[in-house]
Copies of this chain bind each other. A is one copy, B any other.
Amino acid sequence: MNPGDRVRVERADRSYEGVLLPSSTDQQLVVKLEGGYNVGIDREDAAVDVLEQDVYEIDGASGDEDGGSAVEFDEELPTIALISTGGTIASTVDYRTGAVTAQFDAEDVLRAVPDLAGRANYRGRVVANILSENMEPPIWVELAEAVREEIEAGADGVVVMHGTDTMQYSASALAFMLETPVPVVFTGSQRSADRPSSDNVMNAVCAVEAAKSDCAEVMVCMHASESDDRCALHRGTRVRKNHTSRRDAFETIGADPLGEVDYDSESVTIRGDHQQRGEAELALAADLEEDVELLKFTPGMDPAYLDVAEGSAGLILEGTGLGHVHTDLIPRIEELIEDGTTVVMTSQCLEGRVCDRVYDTGRDLLEAGVIEAGDTLPGTAKVKLMWALANADSVPEAMETSLAGELQTRSTPWN
């Protein structure tokens, strides 16, 4: 038996039928089941029948020098660049410890998801191999440069495989850094490939379909519901991971998703305003001012926390309600601003706009020089401020203007 064969595996009174995939350990067989899920089966005492040879063409080599595709080149198909940063979608189970560690590169993912075959020509590329809680601004810069290079080299779309923990921050970073004429689609997986409920196959397939679409935006493509029926396409600057474990954890905040990909029909639907393929010219402004912090205000907050921002280039406040903090903090905030720190207000409510003209506290904050981020999400505002401090002519103007769909203009917060 070889990877790519259709097999039936019997073990411990259970039977599995599907395509054998390459495994990273000798102790297990990985079988792609009919439903699209991969299952890991202990090789010991397992009986394997080969039902059909070479159902999928799987390249066992570790990739060509140019990151070559594991499927045959087809001139009729678009070329999609797969960029891996790590995370569950690019991981397999490490059975020695019982936990999940990142160990796939993009080439491996392609081999592990045979359903990607026939949809595009692929180029694989590894920018990082980290769990996304370890993502850092310098890697955003590397990622943005990699995406630009892939587009320059002719990619018709880019899929970024990323851990889900901080995907929204990375997607925001690329949305501010990059002017893109093609789709840039982040996708990930909430359940590892060995789980019956893994979402990695459907998310990867839908992300590739989205990358072939006409929506030239930085998007996040993840399950739209708990079913395996469709993925939602979220604007990178408006998306948030709202659940620790559900497959449909990602939601667009304060708006409908940009669109969706139907898994069965493979059709991509984009709604509302969006940038069309070819509309923008490829450009990269990847400089970041990293010395920006985010501080969430809660009752009883020690004012000493504000001292940490002393000398910082920027500070995002996650205030309460329309954008408030305890009034005792305002003089200290004013000092920070006078000393050169750009302070931007967002709301921990997450939905709705900051509006500091309504109450005394807010007006005092505005008088102290605090900039309002409208309905920009706090995490997105942090990334944006990093970008604006390094690139914008006027930082206040940039923070109050929508640069990448992060700020939805409304005349009043009472919507």
Contact = CB atoms under 8 A, between A and B. Distances in A.
Contacts of A163: 321
A349 B318 contact: no
B249 A349 contact: yes
B359 A100 contact: yes
Interface stretch (A27-35, A111-119, A287-295): A287-295
Given A355-B244, A358-B99, A413-B244, A133 B296 contact: no
Given A308-B308, A360-B101, A169 B243 contact: no
Interface in A321-360: 321-328, 347, 349-355, 357-360
A325 B165 CA distance: 9
A233 interface: no
A361 B133 contact: yes
A324 B131 contact: yes
Main secondary structure of the interface of A (DSSP, over half): loop
A411 B247 CA distance: 18
13 contacts: A100-B358, A133-B321, A137-B300, A243-B349, A243-B352, A244-B413, A249-B349, A291-B302, A293-B305, A295-B296, A296-B296, A298-B379, A298-B382
Interface of A: 97, 99-101, 131-137, 163-166, 169-170, 191, 197, 241-246, 249, 290-302, 304-305, 307-308, 312, 318-328, 347, 349-355, 357-361, 363, 375, 379, 382, 386, 413-415
